[in-house]
Amino acid sequence: MTTKNEKIKNSPKEAIEMSGSEAMVRSLVAEGVDTIFGYPGGAIMPIYDALYDFGHAVKHVLVRHEQGAVHAAQGYARVSGKVGVCFATSGPGATNLITGIADAMIDSTPIVCITGQVTSGLLGTDAFQESDVIGISMPVTKWNYQITSADEIPDAIAKAFYIASTGRPGPVLLDITKDAQFAKLNFAYKKCTRIRSYVPEFPTNKVHLKNAADLINSAKKPYLLFGQGILLSGAEKELRHFIEKTGIPAASTLLGISALDSDHPLNMGMLGMHGNYAPNIKTNECDVLIAIGMRFDDRVTGNIKTYAKQAKVIHIEIDPAEIDKNIKTEVAILGDAKHTLRLLTTLVEERQHTDWVNEFLQARQKEEEKVIIKDLHPTKLGLTMGEVVRLSTNLTGNMAVVVTDVGQNQMAAARYARFNQSRSWVTSGGLGTMGFGLPAAIGAKFGSPEKEVILFVGDGGIQMTIQELGTIAQEKLPVKIVILNNDFLGMVRQWQELFFEKRYSFTEITSPNFVKLADAYGIPAAVVSERKDLEPAMKAMIAAKGPYLLEVKIEQEDNIFPMIPAGATVSNCLLGSDEL
């Protein structure tokens, strides 16, 4: 955090006098902001008044809760590659952003949150709707700053966008006192391109590159793991060229999904607790493990004491704090994935690892027989989450942006949605925020209006932010909402079934009539409970020109497998409850 002793100053050229609130909006326009998600209130009212005159340049989306604003900004950023922006007023408006800011921090999502604050003279007096949002948000922001003078506004905005979008991206919060919004300044805007002591990207060490290439060239069973860093750096083509030249099988983290086409022959699927069988068990069989743009989260590694101990680990990462944090490396390469992969590809030999790849395919076949066939082509009467997800993405030619909430719906979508385009997967990873899905889908649609946006959400998660149906209705936003309803908090229920002797403690949940609720908002809706009705209902949903809600009644005790029990090794990847 920057202290007041490091006061941000503006040195205008051809400056024009205006209010701080107008300078704020003009600064956002100068940064290319075209969409803002927010909710007005007393302490940010001057900025909203200035925004009234900029409707031609900036679209403001009125959400129904500030948490909806920040999640929408995240969804917008994730699909567009731009910085998402949200507004909130002081006090409860600002504190309602914190969950989304924390989510953006752990998932490296670039957003700028702007909150109003009481006047400078009232700071620290417990004034009406005053909260120390700087102190509250400090642990979950990449940078935060309180503006108390109108002169600070242009440079603070420039610095905020630079920090949010460079290096490892993340959330920035600016808290602006009401008097700073009213006060006059001589305005001129200059984008930030450098900040003393802030190093967003380190130069790539050529010796480390050479050492990594030597390991890769001599490996018999190399294996590549890629995360969201590929998407954030725009390194999708570089990743594909690298694995195709080396013949190395690859697997993605939850947030790395869509960086590599689902049907690429070297894409072995997803890692993690509910990831694919082959990517998990082969981690403890490879001899060289290459990790790019991922942080070795516990949901990927399982028990780190038994994780890839036989392998020499190469970690390519932009954030030095992630190197050796969880998994010790043989070679660490600091740098942007796009640049680093391009250099590394020139040093590696063209090879094939046919026998090694076939081992993955054999393990995949085992999962196919034990899990996937049952999920996609069930013999039981009840609908499965997997068949619903796969049908929907098939009907869109695997070109839809898929958004999820958190829980079983999220894991089913991660496993069974298919992707042919990057930046077409939006979910809450590190924080696992229930309620993320609906507002994030709103942001995703604004960030990529030309694409179909399909949300998969559970009956529990949607009720956390269900008020955002009002935002969808007001904007007539063509978001397609699929509620996978099993009358349970499904993921918790699954754990209770498997590890707590089916003691379903407070996981049964009663829901409203979702179809009637959607109708109250003027949103077309339908409900499906039988397989014969699923495809016609899905086609009707996708064909709808505006928003649409489809509730699908699924098997109540439909579980997500494979599964690595908490604290277990990745080699202990279970294909069914009978293996417990």
Q: Which residues are marked as active site? A: 66, 128-129, 178, 491
For 530, counting Cβ atoms within 10 Å of its Cβ (0-12 exposed, 13-18 middle, 19+ buried), the class is exposed
Q: CA distances (Å), 194 to each of 124, 163, 166, 167, in order?
A: 33, 9, 10, 12
Q: CA distances (Å), 317 to each of 206, 248, 333, 580, in order?
A: 15, 19, 6, 36
Secondary structure class of 457 (helix, strand, coil): strand
Secondary structure class of 159 (helix, strand, coil): helix
The angle formed by the CA atoms of residues 570, 574 and 575, to the nearest 5 degrees, is 135
Secondary structure class of 237 (helix, strand, coil): helix
Tokens of 67: 């948490």
The angle formed by the CA atoms of residues 107, 108 and 110, to the nearest 5 degrees, is 125
Cα of first residue to Cα of last residue in the chain, in angstroms, is 48
Task: Give residues with Cβ within 8 angstroms of 208, minimum separation 6.
Answer: 331, 332, 333
Secondary structure class of 248 (helix, strand, coil): coil
CB 489 within 8 A of CB 462: no
Q: CA distances (Å), 436 to each of 259, 312, 400, in order?
A: 21, 37, 18
* 3-state secondary structure labels for all residues of 313-369: EEEEECCHHHCCCCCCCCEEEECCHHHHHHHHHHHCCCCCCHHHHHHHHHHHHHHHH
What is the DSSP secondary structure assignment for residue 569, as one 8-state letter? -
The closest alpha carbon to 560, from 399, 374, 391, 417, belongs to: 374
CA distance 97 to 76: 16
The closest alpha carbon to 210, from 103, 49, 343, 306, belongs to: 343
Residue type (1 letter), 561: F
- Classify the C-alpha dihedral 435-326-252-448 as positive or negative: positive
CA distance 364 to 51: 54
The closest alpha carbon to 282, from 225, 327, 223, belongs to: 223
Residue with tokens 């796969």: 390
